[in-house]
Amino acid sequence: MASLAVLILVVLACLAAPLYAANVAHTDAFASNVNGTYTLNGVTKPVLEASTEGLGLGVNPIGPTWNITTFFLGADNQGRDVFARMLYGGRNSLFIGFVSAVICCVLAGIVGVVAGYFGKGVDAVLSRAMDVLWAFPVLLLAICLSVVLINTTITVGPITLTSSSLLLPILIIGIIYVPYVARPIRGQVMSLREREFVQAAVGAGAADFRLLRRELLPNVLPTLIVFLPLMTAINMLTESALSFLSIGVQPPDASWGTIINDGVGLLYTRPMVAIAPGIMLAITAVALNLLGDGVRDALDPKARLRGSI
């Protein structure tokens, strides 16, 4: 339950990003602020100060002030408020993670149930396609697809995807993990198909669609629901990795991965830019993983006896 509370807190904080930026910090998290100033304790200073360390080259953005109204976590090299950007970035990270997890579970559910139920040719085709995806290291596949697709504008019918669209990372991440969820679902359906209650429905003359919908789907649904928080965590981490390699969410939009990427250049002078979003990411992923464990124990009490992962 604690994990759910943490998760809700993180989500609420991220949803409140525009409120924070407009009313508390009075900052625009997406506009370059290289010549901006800030006022702290009655003293006004530029956000980017000429460096005094080493050779005195370049500029340093201000570090964390730990004052919630002005540059709580400092500024990035564009002079933008890191804390405000982190809240905004969390919206994208959470949104991409969750929506792609939903897409992944729905697709995997369809593929797994269809392959497991119809067997034979259908199963062979779907399973081989899964094998091919499976044999591709997931991260490499995601990177390949992102590199090709990120800077192009794709038009499919009425839908136009530009590089700034979040749909692209969502779809890529949603699809690459389908085999991981579809395989266990397929196995489950194959064993369900032999069970008495399904055989009884077959004997009663139920049509394929009715069998799928009334007998099989309700039985694989708990498995899919258990997968949902776990996949959300994995997908968020994947999204952040892609954004870290600058082939995920595109600037000036932010996600926790892009902010960590921004922070790498400032790592040794202003480490908080890279550290803070990573901690948010880790907290959210821990909460999601624990939530997944909790949901599994609740939906399948036997798992607790068997020993939960």
Partner 1 sequence: MLRFAGKRALAALLVLFAISVLVFLIFFATPGADPAARIAGRNASQETLQQVRESFGLDKPIYVQYLVMMRHLFVSRDLTSFVNRGSEVLPQVWAAIPVTLSLVIGAAVLWLVLGITMGVIATAARGTAIDPIIMIVGVIGISLPVYWLGEVVNLITQSRLHDSVFSWVPPLGYVPLSDGVGPWALRLFWPWVTLAVLYAGIYARVLRSEMVGAMNEDYIRMARAKGIGEWRVLLRHALRTSLIVIVSLFGLDFGALVGGAALLTEVVFGLQGIGKLTYDSLTNFDLPVILACVLYAAFFVVVANFIVDLVYAWLDPRVRHV
**Shortest Å, Cβ 31 to partner 1:** 26
- If one asks whether residue 216 binds partner 1 (CB under 8 A), the answer comes out as no
**Shortest Å, Cβ 19 to partner 1:** 27
**Dihedral angle over CA of 44, 48, 52, 53, nearest 10:** 130
- If one asks whether residue 307 binds partner 1 (CB under 8 A), the answer comes out as yes
- If one asks whether residue 139 binds partner 1 (CB under 8 A), the answer comes out as yes
**Shortest Å, Cβ 218 to partner 1:** 26
Measured CA to CA in angstroms, residue 214 lies from 5, 16, 111, 204, 217 at distances of 34, 41, 17, 13, 6
- If one asks whether residue 98 binds partner 1 (CB under 8 A), the answer comes out as no
- If one asks whether residue 306 binds partner 1 (CB under 8 A), the answer comes out as yes
Judged by CB under 8 A, the stretch of 35-43, 76-84, 113-121, 125-133 that binds partner 1 is: 125-133
To which H or E segment does residue 214 belong?
none
**Shortest Å, Cβ 206 to partner 1:** 28
- If one asks whether residue 152 binds partner 1 (CB under 8 A), the answer comes out as yes
- If one asks whether residue 237 binds partner 1 (CB under 8 A), the answer comes out as yes
**Shortest Å, Cβ 152 to partner 1:** 3
Rounded CA-CA distance 270/36 in Å is: 18
Task: Select the residue interacting with partner 1 from 60, 100, 240, 250 (CB under 8 A).
Answer: 240
To which H or E segment does residue 247 belong?
none
Listed in sequence order, the DSSP H helices in the chain are 2-15, 17-19, 82-118, 120-135, 138-149, 167-176, 178-193, 196-203, 208-210, 217-244, 256-264, 272-299, 301-306
Six-digit token string for 303: 């798992």
Rounded CA-CA distance 144/86 in Å is: 27
Residues in touch with partner 1 (CB under 8 A): 128, 131-132, 134-140, 143-145, 147-149, 152-155, 233, 237, 240-241, 244-245, 257, 260, 263-264, 267-268, 271, 274-275, 278, 281-282, 285-286, 289-290, 305-309
